[in-house]
């Protein structure tokens, strides 16, 4: 499997690379990154054939969009696919008045949720200005899940299905963007949105992995039936599928519970039998599903990016996947490479 392999992105008419460059880290997530490092990573991804880039106003309060646009400014615009998000509006403010957490020294903008029609249009136009590029190809409604919104989720979801939907459907119908969808941390929210509205695509963080395949029950079959494409991020379940079952391993941003540690240790045993790196299996499993043309990963260094690209193309024998299923470590109906 090659990171630069071109795949059809559902019914949208877009062709994307199997590996997508995620930009949360270049928004100074958790710690600062020098401009030169961000630029080098984007350049390295480009040189490796990556032509799909995902960003958001949230990432660094606009900093990720600023950096990504700078790095792509003089590339042929038809040579790459660009996704961003709506649902937050940024307002310029003094740095001393901004709570940047979990971002570190990000762009000087306050963020506010806004899932209205007007807020969606403003978010889109502002993103175009920050990127400095002629168009954005796809837009996701960002963070209308319980993970982000808690008890307010039902109300904000309803707002988004009205205001955001009307704005995005207009942008799509007028040909301003080619694809519209939802970007969240829960497949159930994606499924609900697809049953209600005619979305083209979804960005799903961490809910279809070697450890989690419940999305096979209803959401992914519906995507196949409707021609909706899914861009998956968080394929390592926030850490443990990259590090293995080591002390302190993280699962969904918290210490991995004993049952997850035990399951990952068993998967690692099968990996050793076939000389397959665990992270390589985690990355390649995700994009084996016919509704998932691309996997999105963000990195902090060129070295991390190079490692991800190597894992993505590491040869994995078919017997490896068969053994995972034989040991009950992978659902029988889960597509494999």
User: Omega before 102 cis (within 30°)?
Assistant: yes
pLDDT, residue 234, reads: 86
Other CB atoms within 10 Å distance of the CB of residue 111:
19
Q: pLDDT-based confidence at 141, cuts 50/70/90? A: very high
pLDDT, residue 170, reads: 98
pLDDT, residue 323, reads: 98
pLDDT at 238 over 90: no
Cα–Cα distance, 152 to 164 (Å, whole number): 17
The residues that are catalytic are 54, 59, 85
pLDDT, residue 188, reads: 98
Other CB atoms within 10 Å distance of the CB of residue 316:
20
Cα–Cα distance, 54 to 75 (Å, whole number): 16
For 186-220, what is each residue's pLDDT tens digit?
999 999 999 999 999 999 998 999 999 999 999 99
Residue 272 CB burial class (10 angstroms; 0-12, 13-18, ≥19): exposed
pLDDT, residue 252, reads: 87
67-76, 119-128, 163-172, 229-238, range with the lowest pLDDT: 229-238
Cα–Cα distance, 125 to 135 (Å, whole number): 10
| Average pLDDT estimate for 231-251 | 94
> Quick one: tokens of 240?
């443990």
**Cα dist. 319→86, 92, 213 in Å?**
43, 55, 20
pLDDT at 99 over 90: yes
pLDDT, residue 100, reads: 96
pLDDT, residue 253, reads: 84
Q: Tell me the average pLDDT of the chain.
A: 97
Kindly list the domain boundaries of the chain, sorted by start residue. Answer: 6-327
For 257-313, what is each residue's pLDDT tens digit?
999 999 999 999 999 999 999 999 999 999 999 999 999 999 999 999 999 999 999
For 17-38, what is each residue's pLDDT tens digit?
999 999 999 999 999 999 999 9
pLDDT, residue 74, reads: 97
pLDDT at 1 over 90: no
| The model's pTM | 0.96
- Considering the domain delimited by 6-327, tell me its CATH architecture: Alpha-Beta Barrel (3.20)
Task: Confirm if 40 and 83 have CB atoms less than 8 A apart.
Answer: no
């Amino acid at each position: 499997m090659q990171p630069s392999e071109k795949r059809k992105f559902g019914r949208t008419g877009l062709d994307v690379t199997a590996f997508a460059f995620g930009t949360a880290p270049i928004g100074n997530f958790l710690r600062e990154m020098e401009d030169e490092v961000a630029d080098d990573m984007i350049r390295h991804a480009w040189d490796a054939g990556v032509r799909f880039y995902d960003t958001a106003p949230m990432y660094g309060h606009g900093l990720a969009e600023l950096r990504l646009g700078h790095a792509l400014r003089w590339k042929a615009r038809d040579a790459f696919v660009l996704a961003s998000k709506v649902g937050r509006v940024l307002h310029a403010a003094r740095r001393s008045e901004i709570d940047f957490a979990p971002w570190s020294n990000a762009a000087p903008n306050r963020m506010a949720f806004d899932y209205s029609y007007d807020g969606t249009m403003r978010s889109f136009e502002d993103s175009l200005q920050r990127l400095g590029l002629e168009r954005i190809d796809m837009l996701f409604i960002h963070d209308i899940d319980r993970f982000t919104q808690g008890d307010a989720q039902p109300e904000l979801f309803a707002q988004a299905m009205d205001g955001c939907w009307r704005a995005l459907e207009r942008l799509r119908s007028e040909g301003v963007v080619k694809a519209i969808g939802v970007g969240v941390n829960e497949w159930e929210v994606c499924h609900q949105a697809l049953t209600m509205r005619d979305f083209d695509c979804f960005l799903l963080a961490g809910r279809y992995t070697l450890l989690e395949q419940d999305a096979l029950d209803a959401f992914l079959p519906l995507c196949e039936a409707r021609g909706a494409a899914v861009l998956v991020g968080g394929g390592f379940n926030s850490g443990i599928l990259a590090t293995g079952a080591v002390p302190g391993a993280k699962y969904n941003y918290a210490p991995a519970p004993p049952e997850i540690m035990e399951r990952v240790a068993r998967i690692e045993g099968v990996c050793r039998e076939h000389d397959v790196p665990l992270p390589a299996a985690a990355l390649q499993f995700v994009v084996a599903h016919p509704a998932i043309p691309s996997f999105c990963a963000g990195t902090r260094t060129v070295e991390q990016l190079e490692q991800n690209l190597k894992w993505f193309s590491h040869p994995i024998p078919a017997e490896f996947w068969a053994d995972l299923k034989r040991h009950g470590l992978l659902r029988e109906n889960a597509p494999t490479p």
